[in-house]
């Protein structure tokens, strides 16, 4: 058994920032990651980091843009905290050596981004995430913070009190990929989940193969509610054949979208008469698909993104990486021809319910970054807001878990924050099929830290042994069933019957998963086993996304419903919440906070 004060699961941007913060507070902190830190998907972020740094800008404008971008589903205390902390965090990483792009006077450059009222997006070429990830990992090395790389965390060690709000998290169980060794990690102060995205629930995604929603699924099964899971961002500019992301920076620098008739459709067809290509991502994604559906798509599939007019010098200076991506993954020379693009799954606005300090309703369990929902992005995340989020809330979670004295959070978590039950009719029963031990936490009276951890370690050893010993079907079939139904039925445009189909398909996939087994008998670097366990997590998050999408009967932000073509503020300024409830999921709602100690927001029509 390993022992540390704070265990951080995942070593992308949020995890690294959290670990550094906990270390600053004097905690003995360790990072546990299924990859090596520099392999994390933060490294693929391209565009930039928003922060109000300059005269003429201030945090309140950034907060206002973020609230508007969220379509009034973000919580004011989260948004205001974020916008106030972001400048300090950005300068902090500059002090850690981040190679930002620069102005002539040597200051950090900032460029315009979609939905921003001021050019406040700092960047490092079109590979901002790569530099952010490496800069922070360097600081982890400098501080000698312990890293358990290529250890896959399979479960959380949580006490089994009946009420999730009485539960405590005492650590995690890790599987060492190289050796097959299953070990407990005792976290004396807290566990911070920073496991990133869940894009592998879809089959056309900008996300890495490793983005399987592990943190969400583990927290969900342990009793932490999932929040606004239906809010999935589809990025408007991904390469059609692979889903590789083409940064919003291209449009920020002046790139133009054309349809098959060479019309600049964002303006010519009235999708965003003011901001055009720089409207919010949800608006641009729908516009592109509307164009394709109206028969004006290129090869009936995509539109063109043209940056040739920016000139070679500017492109090489600020967007060079885009040239490489278009060339390597689509065979297109962006200096010579437009780049084909279409919407692809990009980001989960929803996730593990936390407050402004990263805390969940389970004591000692935190979440930060994409896996968390604080809620900062609400129904739509603005470009350039994900990287400052992982800095701000990664740092806050790290500080809090290490015992720093912080202001009590305004945001309430757990079932006690419930304002009403959901009465949505489901076509099939969701949740666990033949609940296994990892489905039901409350199975006894285990409350002591070590006992809880040891019990969970035994349970995970059994799970691994069973998967290795039995014969059964390959998880890859189940995974692709899930990805297909999600992309077919729970995409940009959603309608009731399709969402119900998806739930039925997911139910069948869950049933098939009970027959899954690992063909590779080896204890050495068994990726078959890892992928099989990840597929279980993909099933849980895919179902949560679909349940949320069926429940939310309105059109808000990224969530479009055929039957409900308007934002319905009287009924729907509330978060869609989903509790695992030991295998029988329960949908409910909690209020959105449009007021913080600093500001009050009035919902307005959202036009760009």
Partner 1 sequence: MSTIEQETETEPEESTDESAEPAVESPGERRRAQKRERARQQEAERVEESTSEDEETITLKVFRYDPEVEGKEEPRFDDFTVPFHKGMTVLDALIYSRDHYDSSLTFRHSCRQAVCGSDALFINGSQRLACKTQIADLDAGTIRIEPLPHQEVVKDLVVDMEHFYDQMEAVEPYFDPDELPEDELEEQRQDRENREKVKMSTRCIWCGACMSSCNIAAGDNEYLGPAAINKAYRFAMDEREGEDRKQERLRIIEQEHGVWRCQTQFSCTEVCPKDIPLTEHIQELKREAVKNNLKFW
Active site residues: 235, 251
Residues in a beta bridge with 587: 578
Q: How far apart are CA 511 and CA 482, in angstroms?
A: 12
Q: How far is CA 291 from CA 158, 175, 304, 608, in A?
A: 49, 47, 12, 18
Question: Do the Cβ atoms of 92 and 149 come closer than 8 Å?
Answer: no
Q: How far apart are CA 210 and CA 197, in angstroms?
A: 9
Q: Give the 3-state secondary structure of residue 513.
A: helix
**Which pairing describes strands 151-158 and 169-176: parallel, antiparallel, or unpaired?**
antiparallel
Residue closest to 126 by CA, chosen among 260, 302, 320, 393: 320
Tokens (6 digits) for 431: 């949740």
Query: How many Å from the N-terminal Cα to the C-terminal Cα in the chain?
Result: 54
DSSP state of 412: -
Q: How far apart are CA 584 and CA 431, in angstroms?
A: 5
Determine the length of the chain. 608
What are the residues whose beta carbons fall under 8 Å from the beta carbon of 203, sequence distance 6 or more? 480, 483, 484, 486, 487
Residues in a beta bridge with 4: 187
Alpha helices in 25-75 (DSSP H): 59-69
Count of beta carbons in the 10 Å neighbourhood of residue 501: 17
Segments of 479-596 assigned E as strands: 493-494, 560-561, 574-579, 586-591
Q: How far is CA 130 from CA 8, 46, 148, 224, 550, in A?
A: 20, 8, 21, 31, 36
What are the residues whose beta carbons fall under 8 Å from the beta carbon of 559, sequence distance 6 or more? 230, 231, 379, 494, 549, 552
Q: How far apart are CA 336 and CA 587, in angstroms?
A: 51
Inter-helix orientation angle 386-401/76-95, to 10°: 90
DSSP state of 296: I
Backbone angles phi, psi at 268, to 5 degrees: -65, -25
What are the residues whose beta carbons fall under 8 Å from the beta carbon of 594, sequence distance 6 or more? 72, 76, 573, 600, 601, 602, 603
Residue 286 is inside which H or E element, if any? helix 281-291
């Amino acid at each position: 058994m390993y022992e540390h004060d704070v265990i951080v699961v995942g070593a992308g941007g949020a995890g690294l920032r959290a670990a550094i913060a906990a270390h600053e507070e004097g905690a003995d902190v360790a990072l546990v990651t299924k990859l090596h830190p520099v392999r994390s998907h933060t490294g693929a972020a391209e565009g930039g980091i928003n922060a109000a740094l300059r005269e003429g800008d201030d945090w309140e404008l950034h907060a206002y843009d973020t609230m508007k971008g969220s379509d009034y589903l973000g919580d004011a205390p989260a948004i205001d905290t974020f916008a106030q902390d972001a400048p300090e965090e950005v300068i902090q990483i500059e002090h850690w050596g981040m190679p930002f792009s620069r102005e002539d006077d040597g200051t950090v450059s900032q460029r315009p981004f979609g939905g921003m009222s001021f050019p406040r997006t700092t960047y490092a070429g079109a590979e901002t995430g790569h530099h952010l990830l490496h800069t922070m990992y360097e600081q982890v090395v400098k501080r000698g913070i312990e890293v358990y790389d290529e250890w896959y965390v399979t479960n959380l060690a949580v006490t089994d009190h009946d009420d999730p709000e009485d539960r405590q998290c005492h650590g995690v169980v890790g599987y060492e990929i190289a050796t097959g060794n299953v070990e407990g990690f005792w976290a004396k102060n807290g566990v911070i989940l920073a496991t990133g995205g869940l894009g592998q629930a879809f089959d056309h995604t900008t996300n890495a193969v490793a983005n399987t929603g592990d943190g969400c699924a583990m927290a969900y099964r342990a009793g932490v509610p999932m929040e606004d899971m239906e809010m999935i961002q589809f990025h408007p500019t991904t390469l059609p054949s692979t889903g590789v992301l083409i940064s919003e920076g291209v449009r920020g620098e002046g790139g133009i979208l054309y349809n098959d008739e060479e019309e600049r459709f964002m303006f010519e067809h009235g999708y965003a008469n003011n901001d055009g290509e720089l409207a919010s991502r949800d608006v641009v994604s729908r516009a592109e698909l509307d164009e394709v559906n109206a028969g004006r798509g290129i090869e009936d599939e995509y539109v063109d993104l043209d940056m040739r007019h920016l000139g070679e010098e500017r492109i090489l200076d600020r967007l060079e990486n885009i040239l490489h991506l278009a060339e390597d993954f689509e065979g297109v020379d962006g200096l010579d021809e437009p780049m084909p693009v279409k919407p692809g799954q990009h980001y989960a606005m929803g996730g593990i319910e936390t407050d402004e300090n990263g805390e969940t309703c389970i004591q000692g369990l935190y979440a930060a970054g994409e896996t968390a929902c604080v809620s900062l992005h609400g129904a739509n995340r603005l470009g350039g807001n994900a990287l400052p989020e992982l800095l701000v809330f990664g740092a806050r979670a790290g500080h809090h878990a290490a015992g720093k004295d912080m202001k009590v959070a305004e945001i309430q978590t757990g079932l006690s924050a419930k304002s009403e039950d959901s009465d949505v009719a489901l076509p099939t029963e969701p949740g666990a099929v033949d609940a296994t031990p990892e489905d039901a936490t409350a199975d006894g009276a285990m409350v002591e830290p070590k006992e809880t951890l040891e019990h969970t370690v035994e349970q995970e050893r059994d799970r691994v042994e069973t998967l290795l010993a039995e014969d059964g079907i390959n998880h890859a079939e189940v995974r692709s069933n899930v990805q297909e139904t999600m992309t077919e039925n729970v995409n940009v445009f959603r309608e009731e019957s399709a969402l119900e189909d998806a739930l039925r398909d997911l139910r069948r996939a869950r049933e098939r998963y009970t027959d899954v087994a690992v063909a590779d008998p080896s204890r050495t670097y068994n990726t078959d086993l890892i992928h099989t366990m990840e597929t279980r997590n993909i099933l849980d998050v895919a179902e949560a996304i679909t349940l949320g999408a069926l429940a939310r009967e309105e059109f808000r932000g990224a969530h479009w419903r055929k039957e409900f073509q308007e934002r319905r503020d009287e009924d729907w300024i509330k978060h869609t919440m989903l509790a695992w409830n030991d295998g029988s999921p329960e949908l409910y709602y909690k209020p959105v906070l449009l007021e913080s100690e600093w500001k009050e927001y009035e919902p307005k029509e959202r036009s760009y």
